Amino acid sequence: MELLIPGLILVALMVYASTRIKRVAAEAFEPETVENEWFSVEKPEGFLNVIAPPDGLEFEAYSKDFGVGEASEFKAARLEARVYRNRNLKYAVAALREAVRPVSETPEVIDGRKYVVVEAESVEKGVGFREVYKLAEKDGSVVELKARTLEDINEDLGAKVEAMIASFIVK
């Protein structure tokens, strides 16, 4: 009897903690607007925004889905944003062309700001990826969004990635 009451209290605390953790984890994958001094982007449901991205990144998000088969160790989609200081857009796009295998390059103008969208393909460990880079210049720096997805992702996830790329706006 002396152990029953502390045992029940312990079980109740464990149930409460477990429920709380599940709720917080689910909320992390909810849609949200991510903003900083450089840009804003709309993160859709099913993506996690990394609160403290690694050095060199201003933003990092990835899907909760993984690939299948050979691609099972890779996230289905990953997005990163970084700022290259003291660069102009023309130089950044030329450097990108040399670094990746571009498939297409499209200029855009959004709210009077010029963007360049470069689509490329890459292979890592025998797995094919589609990469989309969206670059714009701000205050003598270049802001770049890189979206990297597995070649074979479902339509719904592909639409979410395209929506994130479209929503990426340099301030």
> Exposure string (b/e) for 50-68, b if CB count within 10 Å is 16 or more?
eeeeeeeebbbbbbebebe
The per-residue pLDDT for 148 is 97
pLDDT tens-digit readout, 114-138: 999 999 999 999 999 999 999 999 9
Pick the closest to residue 58 from 119, 136, 144 (CA basis). Answer: 144
CB contact set of 33 (below 8 Å; sequence gap of 6+): 40, 41, 42, 43
d(CA 78, CA 115): 20
In the chain the first and final C-alpha atoms are separated, in Å, by 65
33 within 8 A of 49, measured Cβ to Cβ: no
pLDDT at position 29 over 60: yes
143 within 8 A of 166, measured Cβ to Cβ: no
d(CA 128, CA 166): 23
Place of tokens 């991205």: 53
Q: How confident is the model at residue 26 (pLDDT cuts 50, 70, 90)?
A: low
Q: Mean pLDDT throughout 76-93?
A: 95
104 within 8 A of 118, measured Cβ to Cβ: yes
pLDDT tens-digit readout, 35-63: 999 999 999 999 999 888 888 899 999 99
Instruction: Say what the pTM is.
Output: 0.83
